[in-house]
């Protein structure tokens, strides 16, 4: 009674404090120790109900999608409700109330009439039921939340039955929708869509989670599947369950969408459990007692198998009674099981369609059918089909359609547009292009009729042809002037004492190239001269370096001089031409020489 606001409390002193307007009349003792009060403060409650605004300010109202603290099943909610009902009489004033919950789109809110709303707040233990507005099919879903000491517990679903986003990013998991594998990374599915999943290899991976999930209220039901590698994927670690390998003979096997091994009747299946033999023998367990199956390590007689690693169980000539669970347990007590279903799966027979060619009429499980069209028709649809474990073909049956290509859209009376000659308008047919004289094609020389009924592009154009300046040979010159258009010719000549090697005339072609290469002018010997009463072995304007000519005289005349002349590197003959003289003419006599004539 002696303390007033502003007075100092000494070290070791105590003060009794009581809240005003409090329902609790007992005072609280506060002590001072080295300048600090213990307790530092006391809460004062008036005992009156707080207003709705105060409650909302003090305790934020959770939203159905982000503020759910935990999800309770109906029996758990009932236990909470019963617990709070039993304790309301004794401790009702000590429990916090909940503010008004947020409404969900398309939902109607009802509260338990046993717990009345007080100024926009709800007592602890109050249950609120949500009823979705029925959809077109009449489906309706109801759920509830409960106030637990100031917090709403439970989960509010979205009443709008929207789409679900599927992320195909889980490794070693393969998922199916409507019996088709989902290959895209992200896919949006409609409400009610069901996805079936399994491991990519049911013998090498073990799956946890659900095989089936359905899109309901924009969320996927059940647990997302996860596939974990077994001992083969983990360097044959002893703490991992064993990998099971499958081999088959005399019939097909396949993995179903939900992770079962489908075996066609009459097929022989070998299931090999992988375990290091030096650590003991595994044990095969079968869920039925139809027969006792032989098991044991593979032998060296099994080509390509490892007798130190593969412990086999074989099912010969499988029948329906062989169906069941086959599990392999290691000496380390780790186990992996495979569900085997022996069933004659056959897909529908492929009907005969005009022009459709199939490579097989077999419809058994896992059969692959290749399809094509005759007479150049276009195949509309898949070119191959697989018989799936569901008994359905992997795609719809394609059809063959007769396709013809129309006219090629080219501008008429335009020098840049080529002329077209259509050889065939059927699929695979060709159209040839050409240009007028002086113009050449730029682009493909022909177009092919595609299965779409269109000609393959691009189309060529016609451009005026010009050839590059060919130049002139060394020690020679060219006759002609640029520009050189298609059909123009150039003539080459060599300087005196030189002869030409190559074509003396070339022409500019429609493709912009010359008809021949540039000739060469090489040094040579000119014609040595004329003579009478004799003959030369070769008569030309020019003789190549190193070339020789031989001289002879007519009957009754003698050759005076060198019989053979050779063209030297300097373009000169090795000697002067010889002469023909009479037999009785003295050497160097006058009027007795006769010039050599050409050898005829």
Q: Which two tokens stand for residue 400?
A: 């063959």
| 466-467 vs 446-448, strand pairing mode | unpaired
Say which range, 190-199, 319-328, 443-452, has the weakest mean pLDDT. Answer: 443-452
* Rg (alpha carbons) of the chain, rounded to whole number: 52
CA separation, residue 295 to residues 270, 326, 474, 480 (Å): 10, 12, 91, 94
412 within domain boundaries:
no
Q: What is the pLDDT of residue 585?
A: 64
The answer on 113 and 94 residing in a single domain is: yes
pLDDT of 192 higher than 80: yes
Contact 545, 561 (CB under 8 A): no
Confidence of residue 341 (pLDDT cuts 50, 70, 90): very high
The answer on 479 and 453 residing in a single domain is: no
The answer on 211 and 117 residing in a single domain is: no
Q: Which two tokens stand for residue 80?
A: 């909470």
| Residue 479 Rama label (left phi>0; alpha psi -120 to 50; beta) | beta
Contact 380, 397 (CB under 8 A): no
d(CA 325, CA 231): 20
Confidence of residue 62 (pLDDT cuts 50, 70, 90): very low
351 within domain boundaries:
no
CATH number for the domain spanning 577: value is 2.10.70.10
Position of tokens 């007479």?
Answer: 375
The answer on 138 and 105 residing in a single domain is: yes
From 476, 493, 523, the end of a domain falls on 523
The answer on 83 and 128 residing in a single domain is: yes
Instruction: Dump the DSSP string for 109-123.
Output: EEE-TTS--BTTBB-
Confidence of residue 209 (pLDDT cuts 50, 70, 90): very high
Q: Which residue, among 355, 319, 315, 354, has the nearest Cα to 338 in the 3D structure? A: 315
CATH number for the domain spanning 251: value is 2.60.40.10
Q: What is the pLDDT of residues 431-461, one digit of tens each?
A: 999 888 788 888 999 999 887 788 999 999 9
d(CA 365, CA 387): 5
d(CA 463, CA 461): 7
410 within domain boundaries:
no
Q: What is the pLDDT of residues 350-394, one digit of tens each?
A: 998 888 899 999 999 999 999 998 866 778 889 999 999 999 999
Host domain of residue 533: 527-594
The answer on 240 and 214 residing in a single domain is: no
The answer on 202 and 116 residing in a single domain is: no
Q: What is the pLDDT of residues 111-151, one digit of tens each?
A: 444 444 556 678 888 877 665 655 555 555 556 678 888 88
The answer on 304 and 388 residing in a single domain is: no
The answer on 446 and 476 residing in a single domain is: no
Contact 523, 572 (CB under 8 A): no
The answer on 34 and 63 residing in a single domain is: no
310 within domain boundaries:
yes
The answer on 326 and 241 residing in a single domain is: yes
262 within domain boundaries:
yes
Domain count, the chain: 8
251 within domain boundaries:
yes
552-571 mean pLDDT: 87
238 within domain boundaries:
yes
The answer on 490 and 537 residing in a single domain is: no
Position of tokens 């003396």?
Answer: 504
348 within domain boundaries:
no
């Amino acid at each position: 009674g002696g303390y007033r606001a502003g007075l100092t409390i000494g070290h070791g002193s105590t003060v009794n404090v009581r809240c005003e307007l409090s329902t609790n009349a007992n005072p609280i003792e506060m002590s001072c120790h080295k300048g600090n009060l213990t307790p530092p403060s006391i809460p004062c409650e008036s005992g009156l109900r707080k207003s709705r605004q105060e409650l909302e300010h003090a305790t934020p109202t959770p939203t159905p999608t982000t503020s759910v603290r935990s999800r309770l099943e109906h029996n758990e909610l009932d236990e909470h409700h019963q617990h709070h009902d039993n304790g309301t009489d004794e401790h009702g004033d000590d429990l916090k109330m909940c503010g008004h919950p947020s409404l969900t789109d398309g939902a109607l809110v009802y509260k338990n009439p046993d717990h009345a709303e007080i100024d926009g707040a709800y007592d602890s233990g109050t249950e609120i039921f949500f009823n979705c507005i029925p959809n077109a099919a009449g489906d309706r879903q109801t759920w509830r939340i409960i106030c637990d000491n100031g917090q709403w517990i439970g989960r509010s679903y979205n009443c709008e039955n929207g789409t679900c986003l599927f992320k195909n990013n889980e490794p070693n998991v393969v998922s199916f929708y409507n019996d088709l594998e989902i290959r895209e990374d992200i896919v949006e599915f409609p409400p009610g869509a069901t996805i079936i999943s399994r491991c990519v290899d049911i013998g090498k991976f073990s799956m946890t989670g659900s095989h089936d999930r359905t899109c309901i209220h924009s969320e996927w039901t059940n647990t997302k599947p996860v596939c974990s590698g077994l001992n083969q994927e983990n360097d044959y670690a002893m703490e991992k369950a064993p990998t099971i390998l499958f081999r088959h003979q005399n019939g097909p096997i396949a993995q179903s969408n939900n992770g079962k091994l489908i075996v066609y009747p009459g097929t022989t299946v070998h299931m090999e459990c992988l375990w290091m033999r030096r650590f003991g023998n595994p044990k095969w367990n079968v869920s039925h007692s139809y027969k006792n199956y032989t098991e044991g390590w593979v032998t060296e007689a099994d080509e390509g198998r490892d007798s130190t690693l593969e412990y086999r169980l074989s099912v010969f000539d499988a029948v329906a009674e062989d169906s069941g669970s086959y599990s392999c347990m290691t000496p380390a007590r780790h186990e992996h099981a495979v569900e085997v279903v022996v069933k004659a799966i056959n897909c529908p027979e492929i009907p005969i369609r005009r022009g459709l060619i199939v490579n097989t009429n077999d419809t058994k499980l896992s059969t692959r059918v290749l399809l094509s069209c005759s007479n150049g028709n276009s195949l509309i649809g898949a070119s191959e089909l697989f018989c799936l474990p569901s008994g359905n073909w992997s795609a719809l049956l394609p059809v063959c359609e007769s396709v013809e290509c129309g006219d090629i859209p080219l501008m008429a009376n335009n020098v840049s547009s080529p002329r077209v000659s259509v050889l065939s308008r059927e699929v695979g047919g060709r159209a040839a292009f050409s240009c007028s004289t002086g113009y050449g094609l730029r682009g493909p020389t022909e177009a092919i009729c595609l299965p779409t009924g269109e000609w393959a592009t691009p189309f060529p154009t016609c451009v005026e042809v010009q050839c590059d300046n060919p130049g002139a040979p060394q020690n020679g010159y060219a006759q002609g002037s640029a520009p050189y258009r298609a059909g123009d010719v150039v003539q080459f000549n060599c300087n005196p004492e030189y002869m030409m090697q190559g074509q003396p005339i070339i022409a500019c072609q429609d493709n912009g190239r010359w008809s021949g290469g540039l000739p060469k002018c090489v040094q040579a010997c000119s014609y040595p001269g004329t003579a009478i009463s004799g003959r030369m072995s070769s008569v030309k304007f020019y003789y190549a370096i190193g070339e020789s000519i031989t001289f002879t005289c007519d009957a009754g005349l003698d050759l005076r001089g060198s019989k053979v002349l050779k063209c030297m590197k300097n373009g000169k003959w090795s000697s002067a031409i010889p002469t023909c003289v009479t037999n009785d003419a003295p050497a160097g006599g006058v009027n007795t020489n006769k010039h050599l004539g050409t050898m005829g």
